[in-house]
């Protein structure tokens, strides 16, 4: 029973570690480094060590969606279309 916004986008993908914990939030995408944070307002998220599936596929998909590299979701919760990237990689 997650709120709709959390079903659509429960993470913040940033080019800088604006919310602290830079080592924990760091995600390397090729030669690029981005910082991924769970939205603390999203109930129902499980915190801890991510599974290999989440780390290798789902998280990569969120980063690619935020960067505008991909515009179709496969692994993430809800189907979204993005017209503009949040940031450029």
Q: Where are the domains of the chain?
A: 4-67
* 8 A C-beta contact, residue 39 and residue 10: yes
Secondary structure of 75-86 as H, E, C letters: CCCCCCCCCCCC
Does residue 87 carry a pLDDT above 70?
Answer: no
Q: Per the confidence metrics, is the pTM higher than 0.85?
A: no
> What tens digit of pLDDT does each residue of 33-55 get?
999 998 878 877 777 787 888 88
Tens of pLDDT along 4-14?
667 667 888 99
What's the length of the chain? 89
CA distance 9 to 77: 8
Task: Please give the pLDDT value at position 76.
Answer: 64
| 14 close to 33: Cβ distance less than 8 angstroms | no
Burial of 13 (0-12, 13-18, 19+ CB in 10 A): buried
> What pLDDT sits at residue 35?
94
């Amino acid at each position: 029973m997650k709120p709709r916004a959390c079903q659509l986008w429960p993470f913040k993908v940033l080019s800088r570690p604006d919310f602290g914990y830079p080592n924990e939030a760091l995600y390397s995408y090729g030669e690029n480094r981005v910082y991924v944070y769970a939205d603390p307002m999203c109930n129902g998220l499980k915190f801890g060590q991510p599974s290999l599936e989440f780390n290798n596929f789902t998280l990569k998909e969120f980063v690619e969606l935020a960067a505008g590299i991909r515009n179709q979701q496969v692994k993430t919760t809800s189907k979204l279309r993005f017209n503009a990237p949040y940031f450029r990689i």
